[in-house]
Amino acid sequence: MAVYLLCLVLFSLGLYCILRKRNIIKIIVGVIIAEYAVNLFFILVAYRMKGRSPILSPDAEILNMVDPLPHALVLTAIVIGLATTALLVAIAMRIYEKYGTFDITKIRELRG
Amino acid sequence: MSKEHEKGMSLIVKTITRLTVGLILLYGIYIVLHGHVSPGGGFAGGVIIALSFIHLMLAYGKETALRKLSKAAASFFESMGAILFLGIALLGFTGGYFFLNFISKGEPFKLFSAGIIPLCNIAICLKVGAGLFAIFVALVLLKFDSEKR
Amino acid sequence: MVELYILLIFMILGAIVAIEVKDLLSSVVAVGAVGLGLSIVFLVLKAPDVAITQLVVEILCLIILIRATLKRDLPFSTSGRWVFNTFVTVGFIALFLFAAMKCLKDLPEFGYPAMRVASTYLKEGLSKTGATNLVSSVILDYRAYDTLGEATILFTAVIGVLAVVRRIGRKRVEEKIKEEDE
């Protein structure tokens, strides 16, 4: 249970960074940290005590494997996370080019 | 020093890159082709293949890398991967339903086994690798007015 | 399981450094450290596929973020209004943690998952798909619709990046606006 709590603490750090920071790059950092925490939570749920990785071996039969389904979900989610991070970075660079700053409060003042 | 040496990084970096970039590409292809027998698969292998081209671009400058794999070729490969994946899925209708594993399973623990899974791995590898390379090229080619000065 | 706790605490410390440090490049590098720690955690939790993918994706993510932070100046100033913002944020996070604690009681105990669907995959995976890597058989055979949707999202993200970055279309629109103004 303590492992889940540490994972939630990591997610809360990402949430704090998203809500509190003013710099766009810091907000992207917060999004990345929250995404890591979610991926970690899925893999933690899938773990089985003294389990083996879900890959069959030719000689021995393996009985207690970990759950392969969350692994498959997380595998796609990681690549999607990279693509969305790249999209966020592209939008942030466009904002820097237009306004000359990464500070969101100054962008709000400079609108129009 | 000729003019070609001035672009990109120093001579040491270029020499090491020339020696290692082929190995990285081969490792990516190995991971893709053995995705159904060992850890790995289309996603990881595709990103490794994209990283080998990005490695070339970081060391030699964008002209050399774009000569190996141009932006049009990257977008062609990405669309090709998507169409290949969808085509494999649609070919399943020959036996009954979408995503049917219509090729014979073969013998387990061999390279040529598991029906459509290696083909799907190759399609996803093309899609992911070309897509991420296109994203990186787009971000590198974006030049700001402030950086030009 | 001691190494799991050590790695998680290392990741939390890395996240705190990444959030609180002033220099943006240091922040991005600290995020890279968190991601590499996450890769080792996946390896400890017996998920080698996810560990390989996380490792390579982390490197590419780091390259893209460093590209965004080079040659940028970033001032960090806090005015009075942001104290109120901090209180709201901390309250929101406390509410979230409270709700999450309630939900955690319904989860199965760590190390003993409820494998209703996955036990079928583990039993019949080899005979039905022929792949010995069961994660691969789940991705590309049992749940291939997920992968198709992932490919769509990746395609959309690439189109989005190219549309945001390109410069020709924007200039034409600006010229049109200028002509309309005249």
- Given a contact as 3+ CB pairs under 8 Å, which chains touch C? A, B
Question: Which CATH number characterizes residue A94's domain?
Answer: 1.10.287.3510
Q: What three-state secondary structure class fits A65?
A: strand
| Least reliable range by pLDDT among A88-102, B39-53, B100-114, C55-69 | B100-114
Tell whether B106 lies on the interface with C, counting CB pairs under 8 A.
Answer: yes
pLDDT tens for each residue of C11-64:
899 989 888 888 888 888 999 999 999 999 888 888 888 888 888 888 888 988
Total CB pairs under 8 A between chain A and B: 35
Q: Which chains touch B (3 or more CB pairs under 8 A)?
A: A, C
pLDDT surpassing 80 at residue C176:
no
How many CA atoms lie less than 13 Å away from A92 in the CB half-sphere?
A: 24
The answer to whether B115 contacts chain C (CB < 8 Å) is yes
Q: Mind giving me the DSSP string for C39-67? A: HHHHHHTT-HHHHHHHHHHHHHHHHHHHH
pLDDT for residue B142 is more than 80: no
Number of helices (H), then strands (E), belonging to chain C: the values are 8, 0
Compute the 3-state secondary structure of chain A and give helix, strand, coil in percent, each to the nearest 5.
70, 5, 25
- Residues C172 and B24: their CA atoms lie apart, in Å, by 42
CA atoms within 13 A on the CB side of B141: 18
Q: How many residue pairs from chains B and C have C-beta atoms closer than 8 A?
A: 129
Tell me which of C6, C59, C104, C110 to substitute to probe the interface with A (most A C-beta atoms closer than 10 Å).
C110
Residue of B nearest to C54 (CA): B44
Helix (H) or strand (E) holding C4: helix C2-20
Domain with A77, as residue range(s), is 2-54+62-109
Helices (H), chain B: 11-33, 42-60, 62-68, 71-91, 117-141, 145-148
Query: Helix or strand or coil: residue A23?
Result: strand
CB contact at 8 A, C3 and C44: yes
Is the Cβ pair B82, C155 closer than 8 Å?
yes
| Average pLDDT over all residues of chain C | 81
B5 band by pLDDT with thresholds 50, 70 and 90: low
Contact C36, A33 (CB under 8 A): no
Total domain count for chain A? 1
User: Where is average pLDDT lowest: A79-83, C59-63, C134-138, C176-180?
Assistant: C176-180
The secondary element (H helix, E strand) that includes residue C19 is helix C2-20
pLDDT at C175 over 70: no
Residue among A76, A78, A89 minimizing CB distance to B139: A89
Instruction: Say how many Å lie between the first and final Cα of chain C, rounded.
Output: 72
Using beta carbons and an 8 Å cutoff, which residues of B are at the interface with A? Answer: 38-39, 41, 43, 47, 108-109, 128, 131-132, 135-136, 138-139, 142, 144-146
Using CA coordinates, name the residue in chain A closest to C19.
Answer: A17
- DSSP for residue A48: B
Residues A5 and C104: their CA atoms lie apart, in Å, by: 9
Nearest chain C residue to B45, by CA: C53
What domain range is B74 assigned to? 3-148
User: Which of A67, A96, A98, A103 should be substituted to probe chain C, the one whose Cβ sees the most C Cβ atoms within 10 Å?
Assistant: A67
> Tell me, what's the pLDDT at B1?
43
A90 → chain B, closest CA residue: B139
Q: In this complex, do A55 and B131 lie within 8 Å of one another by their Cβ atoms?
A: no
The token pair that represents C80 in the structure block:
């009075």
Distance from chain centroid for Cα C9: 18
Q: How many domains does chain B have?
A: 1
**CB < 8 Å to B85, chain C:** 147-148, 151
Distance, in Å, from the CA atom of C28 to the CA atom of C65, rounded to the nearest integer, reads 7
Q: Binning pLDDT at 50, 70 and 90, where does residue C159 land?
A: confident
Q: Find tokens 């970055």 and name the residue.
A: C165
